[in-house]
Amino acid sequence: MKIGTPRTASLLLAASALLLTAMVPGGPLEARSFAGIAPAVLVAFNTFLTSLGLASFGIAYGVWRQRRWAMGAAAVCGALYFCVYALDLGGVFPVSANAMPRALLAAELLGTALSLPLTACALRLHQTMAPSARLTRASGPKPRLPLALGIIALGILAAGIIAFATRAAMR
């Protein structure tokens, strides 16, 4: 795989999103309790993380398809992944009375390591791609019902993830 290509950025972003999904409270890696954090703060944080993870999959597709907007969005996602991991590894947020499990520590270090080349690669691609690049759209009517149903399904999925993660984090 050649470094600095849309394919590289897309795969780094998808890998970052998949790694984040394994770190959901109550999941295979995150076993700490965050009962000391206000429920509203946990809901907001889990909403942010869920949005970041789910959006990353759509953005990764846009990067794969060489859409300029997706390159910029991927760079932002990479920076956000870095911030999330740096804050947790630095003990800033979220704070738990429980020690970080070794597997979670390893996953967060890997996530941090993925975020740096992701951000750099996506930013470079965004800066070098012409502003009008890949803006062509298919002609014909757009299927609105499937799109609306997809958005509703994604919203239901996100709400389920947020509820599950928040409940698990408060134990």
Dist CA 69 CA 61 (whole Å): 12
| Spatial separation of the C-alpha atoms in residues 96 and 73, rounded to whole Å | 31
Q: What is the pLDDT of residue 45?
A: 96
How far apart are the C-alpha atoms of 43 and 38, rounded to whole Å?
9
Please name the residue ranges forming H helices in the chain.
6-21, 39-64, 68-89, 102-128, 144-169
In this prediction, residue 131 carries a pLDDT of 76
Q: Read off the pLDDT of residues 55-75 as tens digits, 9 standing for 90 and up.
A: 999 999 999 999 999 999 999
**Tens digit of pLDDT for each residue in 12-61?**
999 999 999 999 998 999 989 999 999 999 999 999 999 999 999 999 99
The pLDDT value given to residue 151:
87
pLDDT of 6 higher than 90: yes
Q: pTM for the complete prediction?
A: 0.89
Q: What is the pLDDT of residues 101-149, one digit of tens each?
A: 999 999 999 999 999 999 999 999 999 987 765 545 556 667 777 878 8
pLDDT band at 150 (very low <50, low <70, confident <90, very high): confident
Contact 84, 78 (CB under 8 A): no
- pLDDT greater than 60 at residue 1: no
Calpha distance 2→6 (Å, rounded): 9
DSSP code for 30: B
